[in-house]
Amino acid sequence: MKTNDQLAERFADILIRKMEEMKSEKWEKPWFDVSGKINFYPQNYTGRKYTSGNAFLLLLACSWEGYKTPLFLTFNQCRELEISIIKNEKSFPIYYKNFLVYHRENNKRINIDDYNLLTDEEKKNWRLISYLKNYNVFNLDQTNFASVFEDEFKKLVEKFNAAENEFTVDTIFNCPQLDRMIEDNSWGCDIILKKQNRAYYSPSNDLIVCPVKNQFPNHHNFYSVLLHEMCHSSSKEERLNRAMGKVFGDNEYAREEVIAELTAAFVGTQLGIFAEPSTESVTYLNGWIKVLKQSPDFIFSLLDDVVCASNYISEKINSRMEILEKVAQ
């Protein structure tokens, strides 16, 4: 089996298991059930944070497996620390893109760094081929780290779970970053809040309309719905130029819905927003599961769009907050 196929099947399995769980009756948990855990973001034991789809899927795995920390180790790191991997534990693949660069006439090869130094005109003489590579990691809980380094493990658990015992997902909740963005209308399109029972993004008017916060019994859901629609608005041609679908239920429409749902969950987790999946997304679960089972490699294009949308929203929020901080100084 090709490396890409193995990666796709492993990642698809993680996502399918989560979706199958969410199909259960009266599902009332967020996609990432790590509420109240401070800085619970997937990272290597060295402290280097994972990015892109790797971060998304490792966070999903942490939530699913109930890992005590978001820390992961390679096999070599385990060997250096003289710790063992628990029998029958499965590793998680970390994927990354690698590149081959060939000259179109003589097949001479150069590395990607040299290719990036070429002018646009010079690059036309070279073929750039990208492919996926991977290495495997294990969560600390999948090893005997806790028994070998008992004191350190206790400190790490406390570090990432400091607020867990006193934290509850309050129904009354404020997200200053999004509140300020709504207040000064600094998102890429207008956001209108009004008393109604439907939230939507209008591509033709480039406009988001959302019910007011007090209409939501749980304010986390208000912000999650808002992030969902913000993701839809990022699809516009001058932003991320992503196909949205034109007819309710068609493949592109369903795909865009899962992108918006996962993006809202991923960005929301970073903002302290923990909302259960929307009714509409649960409706699509069977379709999404079917596609993932039939074509596991579908997950790579899906995750690429989720990561692009998540980064776009996060960068807009962060840049706005940086401007406000400078003004306040």
Average pLDDT, integer, range 20-35 = 64
- What integer pLDDT is reported at residue 329 of this predicted model? 46
Residue 66's SS3 state is coil
Same domain, 197 and 161: no
Report the range of poorest mean pLDDT among 36-50, 100-114, 183-197: 36-50
Is the residue at 305 inside a domain?
A: yes
Average pLDDT, integer, range 297-303 = 77
pLDDT for 121 beyond 60: yes
Q: Which of 112, 144, 166 is the last residue of a domain?
A: 166
Same domain, 248 and 314: yes
Q: Which of 147, 166, 185 is the last residue of a domain?
A: 166
Is the residue at 154 inside a domain?
A: yes
Same domain, 180 and 320: yes
Is the residue at 115 inside a domain?
A: yes
Same domain, 208 and 111: no
Is the residue at 4 inside a domain?
A: no
Is the residue at 72 inside a domain?
A: yes
The residue segments making up the domain with residue 273 are: 176-328
Is the residue at 29 inside a domain?
A: no
Average pLDDT, integer, range 59-86 = 92
Residue 195 CA to residue 99 CA, distance in Å, equals: 51
Report the range of poorest mean pLDDT among 6-15, 44-53, 116-125, 136-145: 6-15
Same domain, 89 and 110: yes
What is the domain count for the chain?
2
The sheet that has 200-202: what strands, in order across it?
A: 190-193, 207-210, 200-202
Q: Which of 166, 194, 217 is the last residue of a domain?
A: 166
Same domain, 160 and 188: no
Same domain, 59 and 200: no
**What pTM was estimated for this model as a whole?**
0.71
With beta carbons less than 8 A apart as the criterion, state whether 35 and 274 touch. Answer: yes
Same domain, 162 and 190: no
Q: Tokens 């007090």 map to which residue?
A: 214
- What integer pLDDT is reported at residue 167 of this predicted model? 43
Is the residue at 16 inside a domain?
A: no
Residue 85 CA to residue 78 CA, distance in Å, equals: 8
Is the residue at 21 inside a domain?
A: no
Same domain, 156 and 90: yes
Same domain, 228 and 296: yes
